[in-house]
Each structure stands twice: as C-alpha cells, then as structure tokens.
Copies of this chain bind each other. A is one copy, B any other.
Amino acid sequence: MAKKTYRSMDDFAAACGVSRPTLSKYFDDPTQIKEVTRKRIEAALKKSNFEPNLFARHLNRKRTKNIGILVPTMSDPFYVQVVSLIELELRAKGFWPVQISSHTRPELEEEAVRTLLSLKVAGAIVAPLGAGSRRSALARLTDAIPVVCFDSPSAFDLPFVGNDNAQSVAAIVQYLCRSGEPPVFLDVPHMMANTNERTESYRATMRREGHEPLVIECESSPSWEFERLGYEQMQRMFARGGLPGKTLLCANDRFAFGAMAAAFASGLKIGRAEGCDIRIAGHDDHPLSRYTCPSLTTMAQNAPEIAAKAVELLLKSVEDEEADRKVAPSRVILEATLVMRESA
C-alpha cells in the first residue's frame, strides 16, 4: 500500500484529527500532550510519508546549549570514564552535559529519550542498549536532533566512535600466545555488537597463530553484572572437574575480576610469575584493574580519544544542522593498547 503524502503541517494535523498547535507540541516535546493524542499522531505517522524530522528541526531550532548523554548503565566504570571525559570536553567547549542512564532496560531507554527531548537538548551522544534497544526510541531521537553513537554502533546509519575490537583482541591473544600457553576465551553474553567482534577476533587470531580456538560461552542468563557472571562460570567449570586451560582471556575486565575471585577462592595462585597456577587477562583497563591482587593484564581502550571524537562529531553535526547542511555520517575506530601487568 502506498503511503500517503502531506504537503504541510496543517494538512497532516487535519489528517490526524488534532489541532496544529497540538501537532507542534508533539514534535517539540511528545511528553507534553495526552497519551491518547500522542498515539493517534504516531499511528498517522506510520501510515504516511510525512517527515516529522524536518518540521521537528525547524520547531526546535531554538535549542539550548545542553547536550544529552545516554548510556545503558553507570554501574559500568567504562561508561563512567568515557561519560566523564565527554562531560569535561563539552563544558570546555561551552556546552552543558546532561546524563541519563537507561539502567539496561529498554522501556527506560525509551523514557530517557522522551526526557532528553523535553529538555530540548541540542544533540545527544548515545551508547545504545544493543540487542534490547527499541528501534522506535532511537528513531525518535535521531529524527529530532543530531546523534552520535559510541561503544556499540546503532541500527541506524549514525556517526560512530568506538574501539577497534579486531585489533585489540588480536594484540592480547598474540601476547598471550607469545608468552605462554595459548588462551581459552571466556565470553560474556552477546548483548551488544562489540562482543561479537571480540569473539570473532579471538577465533581468527588463534587460527592465524596456528592454535585451535576454544570459546567458553557464559551459561548464566544475560545480565550486566559481569563480575558475578565470571565468578559463576568459573565455579561451574571447577564443579565439572577443572578449567579448560592455564591461560584465560576474559571478554572484559569485570568478568575477569569475577574469574580471579573464583580462582583465588579455589586456592589457585594467579599470575605470570614462576610457581603460579593460572594466567587471567581482561579487556578495557577498568580503573580498578591496576589494584587487583595481582594487577590485571588487559587492553586499554583509548577512552580520551573516544570521548574527544564523539564530542567533535556531535558538535559538527549540530553546526551542520544549524546551517542546514547534510553530511555523510563518519565512523572513527580507535586502536587499544596492551597493558602488561602481573596477572598474565
């Protein structure tokens, strides 16, 4: 069925059966109008070729100097670190950051988008929730304001800044192979696109190095409590008779913390020194990874550059928006650095 086309906001308002001011209000801030009216407008939008973004953008031209930052959770220090850097960078450039977390819940990500729109932010930097994201939530945001993604790319064709997981996992796998027994990969549940990239890079690198890859999938149900997942997975392996190898590469540092705690509780000595029983490595260079016992060998994402590039791309989009220029979305992929410590 061909979608209906409307010439103007008035035409479309009439078709929705709402007044023109109500329709304006909807594009300006969907939370200001009654839910029943909102639903009517949204149903009409689906059946039409009407381009709300064009109108929304004009309506919203008078925006604030506020920039929204939306992440899945602030309980993960990687997000905290990047968000802090983004905030400081924005403030240095005369913008005011406003941070909202979706608490890893799709319905709260959708609410967070509504809140950001009601605050009339000039743009947003978003780490999408991944598999759980509701497409409609991010669509509403990108229709209204410039958006840049970081950490995990979105289903939309948006500017993106992230870690080069192929490079970073290859670097640590090569290091572990060079310095001892090739690693077994302890994976996390795949909730985001970047976890796939890490697992694939592990497999490819092991084969290139002439070793058979061995990926241990996490059997706990998906969760963002990675320390607990790592602890439980190790306990399961111990219960089944022991570990599958003497070198474990964990998909992230938080999972490695849990794995280390479980190994320690089982009486194993962790480290690369003489007389140790097991090597454990992580990925991300969590702020606490230098203070674990022993300190954790890991890959440091280039957080300062991720933050700087995300802000740069966003402010460029905001300017282009103001100048009515359309630019192709950029993609910035940054290499990580091996941090050799005592654990592996």
Contacts and interface: CB of A to CB of B under 8 A. Distances in A.
A170 to B, nearest CB: 28
Interface residues of A, number: 44
A294 B96 CA distance: 42
A55 B66 CA distance: 25
Interface stretch (A12-20, A97-105, A152-160, A204-212): A97-105
B83 A231 contact: no
A257 interface: yes
A114 B96 CA distance: 9
Nearest to A75: B80
Contacts of A292: 261, 292-293
Contact of A96 (B75, B111, B270, B290): B111
Contacts of A115: 66, 96, 98
A88 interface: yes
A33 interface: no
Contacts of A96: 111, 114-115, 118
A106 interface: no
A97 B115 CA distance: 8
B74 A288 contact: no
Contact of A293 (B65, B97, B98, B264): B264
Interface in A252-284: 257-258, 260-261, 264, 270
Interface in A55-87: 64-66, 73-75, 77, 80-81, 83-84, 87
Contact of A118 (B64, B80, B101, B227): B64
A88 B111 CA distance: 12
B98 A119 contact: yes
B103 A261 contact: no
5 contacts: A31-B65, A80-B80, A96-B111, A258-B291, A264-B293
